[in-house]
Amino acid sequence: MALEKIIEKLENEKKVKIEELRKKREKEYEDFVAKKEKELEEWKEQQRKNLKESLNREESTLLSQLRLKYNTEKARIEAETVNRVKLLLLEKIKSLSNELYNGIWDGFVEKESVKGGEIILAKGEDKIDVDHFCKKYGLVLGKDRVEGKGGFVIQKDNLVIDLTIDTIVEELVNKNILEIAQILRGEK
């Protein structure tokens, strides 16, 4: 009987030890699973963060590209509009009556205080009263023509005064470019 009790006691101790080991292994397994789940969640969160940063960078790059494209197109349209304004202004000046047209050039020449020299007409010039300018300002008509849609150049010694329509319109636009840009952008 004593042997049976010893065997029974050993069996009980064995069951207790097995149960303790099972619980210990179960706890280790649960801890391992919890640790791995936590690592997985941290990895997922890091991947989300990386993806979000990557998307933000791509979005920022795309927005920058779109802004650049928009600003380039806007600048192109503004430049095209300014060129159209220049052409329209040139056409309006050329369509003035001969009296008004010559009066404009009289004003420019008087402003420059020209006395003497050579008047060289622009290739596109066909309305200037050359005789009037030659007599009034002591000018001599040059044989050649300069590039331009109208007007002329006065040359005396080393001095050249460019009074072509192209130059005058260009200077007028350049002088007022800020105001023109504000009008084009609807700021005025």
Of the candidates 150, 156, 117, 149, the one whose C-alpha atom is nearest the C-alpha of residue 133 is: 117
Q: Is the pLDDT of residue 188 over 80?
A: no
Residue 46, pLDDT score:
96
Report the percent of the chain where pLDDT is more than 90: 62
Give me the mean pLDDT over the 76-87 stretch.
Answer: 88
Q: Burial code of 131-144, b = ≥16 C-beta within 10 A, e = fewer?
A: eebeeebebeebee
Tell me what pLDDT residue 45 has.
Answer: 95
Distance separating alpha carbons of residues 85 and 80, to the nearest angstrom: 9
- Quick one: pLDDT at residue 1? 64
Say if residues 119 and 140 touch (Cβ distance below 8 Å). yes
Whole-model pTM: value is: 0.61
Average pLDDT, the chain: 91
Domain coordinates of the chain in residue numbers?
A: 1-95, 97-184
**Mean pLDDT, range 58-69, rounded to an integer:** 96
Residue 5: predicted pLDDT: 83
pLDDT in tens, 2-11: 888 888 888 8
132 pLDDT more than 90: yes
Return the half-sphere exposure (C-beta side, CA atoms, 13 A cut-off) of residue 124. 14
With 0-12 / 13-18 / 19 or more C-beta atoms within 10 angstroms meaning exposed / middle / buried, residue 85 is middle
Of 137, 156, 172, residue with least CA distance to 128: 137
For 18-59, the pLDDT digits (tens) are 999 999 999 999 999 999 999 999 999 999 999 999 999 999
